[in-house]
Amino acid sequence: MRGYLARKTLVYGLTFVVAVTLNWLIPRLMPGDPVQRMVARAAVQHPETIASMTDYYERTFGLDLPIWQQYLNYWAALFRGDLGTSVWLFPAPVSEVVLAAVPYTLGIMIPAILLSFVVGNSVGAMAARSRWLDNVALPVGYLITAMPYMWLAILLAWGFGVALGWFPVAGGYDFGLVPQWTWSFALDLLQHWVLPFLSLFLVALGGWAIGMRNLIIYELESDYSNYLAALGAPKRLIRQYAFRNAMLPQITGLALQLGTILGGALVTEIVFAYPGLGKLVLSAIQNQDFFLLQGTLLFVVIGVLVANFVIDIVYVLVDPRTRTGLTGATA
Amino acid sequence: MALAVNDLKVWYRTLRGDVKALDGVTFEVADGEIMGIAGESGCGKTTLGKALIRLDTRMKHVGGTVVLDDDELPLADDAAMRRYRYREVSLIPQYAMSAMNPTRKIGRMIRDLLAAHNVRYAEVLPELERRLKLVGLETDVLKRYPIELSGGMKQRVVLVLSTLLNPSLLIGDEVTSALDVSSQKAVARALVEFRDHGFVKSMIVITHDISVLFQVADTILVMYAGHLAEKAPAKTIINAPLHPYTKMLIGALPKVGDRYEEQQLEGIEGRPPSLLEPPAGCRFRDRCPLVHDKCAEAPPFREVAEGHHVACWAVS
Amino acid sequence: MRKENGMTATQPTAGPGAEASEQPGVAGSPKGGRKAGGDTRETLYFALRNPKVLIGAVVVVAFLLLGLIGPAFLKYAPMDYAGPPMAPPSADFPFGTTTFGQDVFAQFVAGLRSTFLVGLLGGGVAAVIGMTIGFVAGYRGGLIDELLNMLTNVVLVIPGFVVLIIINAYLGVRSVPMQALYIGIFSWPWVARAVRSQTLSLRSRDFIDLARLSGVGVGTILRREVAPNMYSYLFMTFVLLFGGSILTAASLDFIGLGPTNAMSLGLMMNQAVQWSALHLGLWWWFIPPGLGITLIVGSLYIMNVGLDEVFNPKLREM
């Protein structure tokens, strides 16, 4: 078990270094002088701040320094929590802008992930049991899984928002309201939350259901299932074992899917103009705000790594094989 | 009479037609008898073993009866068979290495299984521990996961688990083939011991490895292409076989531990016939050195001496 | 021991949504081992009788043909201001027109081409990288296996979509093939893991030992002995990578990070949302591109389930 954790820690540590390095490296592969390009692009919006911006970027990028020093400076800044300054929202620090958006993204992601995982696995387990349900659930599940996240979001926005008018289709709360701790504001927040959440939930749901269905069928074919059946164990016990064992790869799958679901959350937010990280990414791209973009994405990467690590530790608790040090899960 | 099988036919359904894997077999196993079944792979021995306890989804019971201790087994009715499984008929499967749920502690799995048969774990535990010790295992294997055990240990746990409710008939399918020679011997000894202690009344041991049968079996049944060829006391089969196929099988056995099916049987041309459309008459006749006109008709499986049955026209 | 952890290592789940990291809906359980060669005809026989394979193949081929030969019959180029703005579907414009009077059908057909190109190239790149790394790691073992395994795990945990956003935003991806290349580079890890564990289980079988004893080279062994046992598995893997690349590309295009010199289905959705097609009720603008992707990718997935049944006789009776 200790070996397992040590291995995990090594992999995640390495991944973190690689991710940060990529984040540092890619902008430096951009053709031309990045500072000039950034300032030129931003200049249209903030003509009055050009001088201070140029000065600031030159300092941050430190392009006159040797390359290894640039790299070390980047790490130093990162550990201070300094992700730079936004161009678009100048002079707001990127970390502040990102932290303000995080609750919205987590607010749709966490419920969507947890609920889709629970409901999807239950539906999948039921489908493995009934031919009728299987024939319905399987094709529907595959089609839902095959849907681009933003398309389902568009359909929901159009159907429940524009056509039926049940839910608002843009923003995190009504533009006329000021955020405050009141019931009416909370209700408004909830109304804006429904469609983005539903969109994310549905796409993820199909995948879990299908995964569970396939895994259970394989588990039911396995040797221990056959042995139990030969010894007269009732179907209930065999299914219970199969479900339990099929959950293990699903938990590993959850860790592996986090990045994908997060990508889905980003584009879903864009459709609904939901003020989370996805919207931030879009604004950063449209406004050529590379500091904001980099900061947001770095934050996202770290979030995914941490979540993965947590899931791996949970996995140790549920799979005895990792405790005996004979096999690994994700990594 | 522990077990009486009468004209049992079990076929496999495939898209090309029915494979007649077990095509009318009749034999008996006496109380306290350990009967070995030998034959090349595909001769129907595994099908026979499965048929007696649980048909898989592709198998169908076409005809014949199986009577165990005066009770006819409802082979085709999976739900009705449940009553007999484990208490009356039990199994040590081919895949004993992976027969236990990898994510449950062994004791917990046994507890779940017993609960399903309305037996209280606590009541059986002393006996369970006694039998584990008997096969040379510590009782703390119950607190371990299967993956923590070696192959030989797993095999012995499965032996104890499968016979815990003292079944009337135990079917052992390739019980020793995955093991090294010393573990093989230990498991073979344990099988005989379990019969001697009365944990199981009678046994059917199916194997590729005839040398294992020499060690454990009282009688040996030789099968060929879905039919029975010969049944006799083990000594007779080895020293004085009558059926030409048995003679070749014994003659083709080079040394202990070798598996004959991996090489061509010595001097026997060809392969067993397809069981999709098996030819009428004796199924061995294409490969038989003693073939003559009469063989176009299927030979009866008749008793030629006390406890010695043969299906061959050339044997008088 | 290998058998027991084969399941976890192979990742047989088809996880959710699954842009960059779709996993095969098959358990590459080594126990479902296939006979080496010799039964191609039997496979074909079952494939042509499996409704899932047939329906999936028909839908995919229909869209492919539309993308390939469709442009020859079009009156307008995708970006031409061809007709009246915001016209609903009609004989002239089967999918209607955009707010600018562009022919949605022409855009759709052009988008199909990009979609298939991204799927083919992105899936191909990922398949080649993943299979090579998986083969080598599983076959060579030892230190090489350790290193490749580490690399695989690192790329596996990095959210590929995020890195793709950074790459596309900074380096500017101008063409569909470039986009496909980058997508491929970040979607191979699960393939490598699956192929590695398959190779490990095959490696331990007798025929490989036999080949090795007879002094045949590693490449020959891989090609002659290992690969044929895995063809079906590799094919299904490619099918899933194909679908995954399409979905990832659609997301990138939708954020506005797609190729600038080509039309794509993701870009159509981007423009539809950007120019308020939702509020103007121009459903014919945003429904076809998403529906096209859903049908193509969904058919691929369903086809994959069918192929699993074909290749794995155990599942045929289900």
Interface test with C, best of B13, B14, B15 (most C CBs within 10 A): B15
Flag if B147 and C1 touch (Cβ within 8 Å): yes
Q: Which residue has the tokens 């090309």?
A: B16
Query: For A312, which residue in chain C has the nearest alpha carbon?
Result: C157
pLDDT for residue A199 is more than 80: yes
Average pLDDT, chain C: 77
Nearest to B98 among C3, C46, C316 (CB): C3
Identify the band that residue C258 occupies on the pLDDT scale cut at 50, 70 and 90: confident
Q: List the chains bordering chain A where 3 or more Cβ pairs fall under 8 Å.
A: B, C
Contact B147 A321 (CB under 8 A): yes
Comparing alpha-carbon positions, the chain A residue that sits nearest to C269 is A151
Percent of chain C with pLDDT over 70: 76
CA distance A320 to A329: 11
Rounded average pLDDT over B215-243: 90
pLDDT at residue A36, rounded to an integer: 67
Choosing among A150, A280, A292, which should be mutated to test the C contact, i.e. which has the most C CBs within 10 A? A150
C3, B97: Cβ pair inside 8 Å? yes
Report yes or no: B70 and B3 within 8 Å, Cβ to Cβ: no
Please report which confidence band the pLDDT of residue C315 belongs to, taking 50, 70 and 90 as the band edges.
low
Identify the DSSP state of A58: I
User: With contacts defined as CB-CB under 8 Å, which chain B residues touch C3?
Assistant: 97-98
Helix or strand run (H / E) with residue B7: strand B3-14
Rg over alpha carbons for chain B, rounded to the nearest Å, is 20
In A, minimum Cα distance to B113 occurs at A233
User: Which whole number is the average pLDDT over C10-16?
Assistant: 33
Q: How confident is the model at residue B278 (pLDDT cuts 50, 70, 90)?
A: confident
Q: What is the pLDDT of residues B142-164, one digit of tens each?
A: 999 998 888 888 999 999 999 99
Q: Residue C52 above 50 pLDDT?
A: yes
Asked whether the CA dihedral A224, A226, A232, A236 is positive or negative, the reply is: positive
Phi, psi of A12 (to 5 degrees): -70, -35
The answer to whether the Cβ–Cβ distance between C1 and B98 falls below 8 Å is no
Cα separation, A77 vs B145, in Å, equals 48
pTM: 0.81
Q: Which two tokens stand for residue C99?
A: 């707010």
Q: Which residues of C touch A169 (CB under 8 A)?
A: 278
Q: B51: which chain A residues are within 8 Å (Cβ-Cβ)?
A: none
Q: Which pLDDT score, from 0 to 100, does residue B150 have? A: 86
Mutate to test the interface with A, among C157, C291, C308 (most CBs of A within 10 A): C157
Task: Give the residue, C176 or C83, on which the prediction is more confident.
Answer: C176
Tens digit of each residue's pLDDT (9 = 90 or more) over C190-202: 899 888 887 777 7
Residue A43 has pLDDT above 60, yes or no: no
Sign for the pseudo-dihedral over CA of A305, A306, A308, A313: positive
Average pLDDT, chain B: 86
Contact C4 B98 (CB under 8 A): yes
Cα-Cα-Cα-Cα dihedral sign, residues B79, B81, B87, B89? negative
Residue C65: per-residue pLDDT: 92
Q: Which of B53, B54, B95 sits opposite A223 (nearest CB)?
A: B95
Which of B54-58, B133-137, C5-9 has the weakest average pLDDT? C5-9
DSSP for C49-114, written as a single string: T-HHHHHHHHHHHHHHHHHHHGGGG-SS-TTS--S-TTPPS-SSSTT-B-TT--BHHHHHHHHHHH
Q: Sort out which chain B residues have CB atoms less than 8 A from A237's CB and list them.
A: 112-113, 116
Set of chain A residues whose Cβ sits within 8 Å of the Cβ of C15: 207-208, 211, 253-254, 256-257, 260
Measured between beta carbons, which residues in chain B are less than 8 angstroms from residue A234? Answer: 82, 116
HEC per residue, B233-294: EHHHHHHCCCCHHHHHHHHCCCCCCCCHHHCCCCCCCCCCCCCCCCCCCCCCHHHCCCCCHH
Cβ distance B97 to C317 less than 8 Å, yes or no, reads no
Find, among A249, A244, A236, the residue nearest to A208 by Cα.
Answer: A249
pLDDT at residue number A9: 86
Chain A residue closest in CA terms to B148: A324
For B256-276, what is the mean pLDDT? 57
Cβ of residue B97 closer than 8 Å to a chain C Cβ: yes
A328 has pLDDT over 90: no
| pLDDT of A178 strictly over 70 | yes
What is the sign, positive or negative, of the torsion defined by CA atoms of B111, B115, B119, B122? positive
Give the confidence band of A309 by pLDDT, cuts at 50, 70, 90. confident
CB-based contact C122:C180 (threshold 8 Å): yes
CA distance A156 to chain C (A): 10
pLDDT band per the 50, 70, 90 thresholds, residue B206: very high
CA B60/CA B83 separation, integer angstroms: 20
Instruction: Tell whether B120 is within 8 A of chain C (Cβ).
Output: no
Mean pLDDT of the region A23-49? 67
Q: How far is CA B259 from CA A46, A70, B208, B250, C279, in A?
A: 85, 69, 6, 12, 76
Confidence of residue C26 (pLDDT cuts 50, 70, 90): very low
The string of pLDDT tens digits covering residues B15-36 is: 777 888 888 899 999 999 999 9
The residues, ordered by sequence, that sit 6+ positions from A68 with a Cβ below 8 Å of its Cβ are: none
Q: Contact, B225 vs B48, CB < 8 A?
A: no
The one-letter code for the residue type at C39 is D
CA dist A247 and B212 (Å) reads 41
Contact C263, C110 (CB under 8 A): yes
Kindly report, residue by residue over A98-115, the tens digit of the pLDDT: 999 999 999 999 999 999
The percent of residues above 90 in pLDDT, for chain A, comes to 22
Q: How far apart (Å, rounded) are the C-alpha atoms in residues A313 and A325?
A: 14
CB A22 within 8 A of CB C167: no
Nearest to A301 among C4, C162, C315 (CB): C162
C51-71 mean pLDDT: 90
Q: What is the mean pLDDT of chain A?
A: 83
**H or E, element range at B220:** strand B219-224
Q: What is the pLDDT of residue B141?
A: 92
Mean pLDDT, residues A214-225 = 88
Q: Which residues contact C122 (CB under 8 A, 6 or more apart)?
A: C179, C180, C181, C183, C184, C187, C241, C242, C244, C245, C246, C248, C249
The Cα-based distances of C8 to A16, A261, C29, C96 in angstroms read 24, 21, 10, 49
Reduced to 3 states, what is the DSSP secondary structure of residue B40?
A: coil
Report, in angstroms and rounded to the nearest whole number, the Rg of chain A calculated over CA atoms. Answer: 24
Chain C nearest-CA distance from A194, in A, is 18
Residue B242, token pair as written in the block = 């009558």
Lowest mean pLDDT among B226-240, C156-170, C214-228: C214-228
Pairing of strands B89-92, B169-173: parallel
Mean pLDDT lowest among A241-245, B207-211, B261-265:
B261-265
CB-nearest to C251 from A150, A308, A326 is A150
Global ipTM:
0.88
> CB distance from C206 to chain B under 8 Å?
no
Asked whether residue C289 carries a pLDDT value surpassing 60, the answer given is yes
Top mean-pLDDT range of A172-186, B104-118, C156-170, C172-186? B104-118
- Cβ of A230 within 8 Å of Cβ of B53? The answer is yes
pLDDT score at C35: 39
Predicted local confidence at residue C205, as pLDDT: 62
Q: Is the dihedral of CA A305, A309, A314, A319 positive or negative?
A: positive
Alpha-carbon distance of B91 to A230, in angstroms, equals: 7
- Stated as kind and residue range, the H or E segment containing C189 is helix C189-203
Distance of CA A302 to the CA centre of its chain: 11
Q: Which residues of chain B make contact with C317, given a CB cutoff of 8 A?
A: 57-58
- Calculate how close chain B gets to C225, using CA atoms only, in Å: 20
The predicted model gives B201-228 an average pLDDT of 88
Instruction: State mean pLDDT over B284-304.
Output: 87
Q: Tell me: pLDDT of B267 over 80.
A: no
Q: Which residue of A162, A217, A321 is in closest CB contact with C279?
A: A162
Q: What mean pLDDT is predicted for residues C117-128?
A: 95
- Can you give the pLDDT at residue A316? 81
* Chain B CA closest to residue A236: B116
Among B250, B245, B256, B233, CA closest to B282: B245
Q: Which residue intervals of chain B are DSSP H helices?
A: 45-53, 78-81, 106-116, 121-134, 151-162, 181-196, 210-216, 234-239, 244-251
Confirm if C155 and A259 have CB atoms less than 8 A apart: no
Query: Between B98 and C213, whose confidence is greater?
Result: B98
